[in-house]
Amino acid sequence: MFSQAEENYIKTIWHLQQLQQKVSTNSLAERMQTKPASVTDMLKKLEAKKLLHYEKYYGCSLTTDGKKIALSIIRRHRLWEFFLSEKLGFAWDEVHAIAEQLEHIQSAELTVRLDAYLGHPRFDPHGDPIPDASGELQPREQFLLAEWPAGKPAIICAVQNHDASFLELLGQKSLDIDTHLIVQKRYAFDQSADLLLASGQVVQISAAISNNIYVKAD
């Protein structure tokens, strides 16, 4: 139905729209690792297909149809990530690149069966919710670690950033999905913090890290 290039654009626009409802050509170009001129071309094409609204010089936003497509791609992406992690034992930071390809496999039946085989998982290995078959995304009851009060027990349930460099750093600091922790101390100067882990280990993290980790109450 849609080419891989089109699907990648739709999905990226959806993600950017979570932050700002109008998506600019440049932000899209940066995220897609391409040039603004290429983005303009694609926006015209996707507008013609009624997947997004596009006003010259003022950015784009997905139509209802566009959002539905986006969520179906995200559903496939996250189901495959779950499969790669849960069934094949891939590490947290390895699944994204492969799911980026698998999400484009065209077969409605495949998605249905994969979902059932995996036991209808509700969250991917990064803690992100998996849209259900009708495109519903349950809101996450998760908070930024940066905003979590010191002393209150928490569990890591998601990360905002999926770059390999970030996930690698988390590994270094023994931080992972389901890690139990308490914010021991937060330093006003640079918003860095000391975390006490369930293991008894204490690790230091920068503000950049706490702004990319989601936690929930333990």
Partner DNA sequence: TTATAATTTTAGTTTCGCCTAAAAATATGT
Partner DNA sequence: ACATATTTTTAGGCGAAACTAAAATTATAA
Which residues would be at the binding site for its own copies (CB under 8 A)? Answer: 84, 87-90, 94, 97-98, 101-102, 105-107, 109-110, 113-114, 117
Read off the DSSP letter of residue 129. B
- Give which of Mn ion, DNA, its own copies, none residue 98 binds (C-beta under 5 to 8 Å, depending on kind): its own copies
Q: Using the rule CB under 7 A, is 124 a contact of DNA?
A: no
- Give which of its own copies, DNA, Mn ion, none residue 206 binds (C-beta under 5 to 8 Å, depending on kind): none
Structure tokens of 57?
């010089």
- Give which of its own copies, DNA, Mn ion, none residue 126 binds (C-beta under 5 to 8 Å, depending on kind): Mn ion
Structure tokens of 142?
């998760």
Read off the DSSP letter of residue 149. P
Question: What is the per-residue binding string for DNA in 46-75, x denoting contact by CB under 7 A?
Answer: --------x-xxxx----------------
Cβ–Cβ under 8 Å, residues 82 and 15 = no
For residue 216, what are the CA distances in angstroms to 9, 123, 203?
Answer: 31, 14, 19
Q: Using the rule CB under 7 A, is 43 a contact of DNA?
A: yes
Residue at token pair 């905002």: 160
- Least CB distance to Mn ion at residue 31 (A): 12
Look at residue 45 and give its three-state secondary structure.
helix
Q: What residue ranges bind Mn ion (CB under 5 A)?
A: 8, 81, 100, 124, 126, 128
Q: Which is nearer to DNA, 54 or 80 (CB)?
A: 54
For residue 159, what are the CA distances in angstroms to 25, 124, 164?
Answer: 26, 11, 12
Say how far apart CA 164 and CA 137 lie, in whole Å: 25
- Give which of its own copies, DNA, Mn ion, none residue 153 binds (C-beta under 5 to 8 Å, depending on kind): none
- Give which of DNA, Mn ion, its own copies, none residue 36 binds (C-beta under 5 to 8 Å, depending on kind): DNA
Residue at token pair 């496999």: 105
**Tally of CB atoms within 10 A around 146:** 18
Cβ–Cβ under 8 Å, residues 196 and 123 = no
Q: Which is nearer to Mn ion, 88 or 150 (CB)?
A: 88
Binder to DNA among 36, 121, 135, 153 (CB under 7 A)?
Answer: 36
Q: Using the rule CB under 7 A, is 101 a contact of DNA?
A: no
Residues at the contact surface with DNA, assessed by CB under 7 A:
3-6, 24-27, 33-45, 54, 56-59
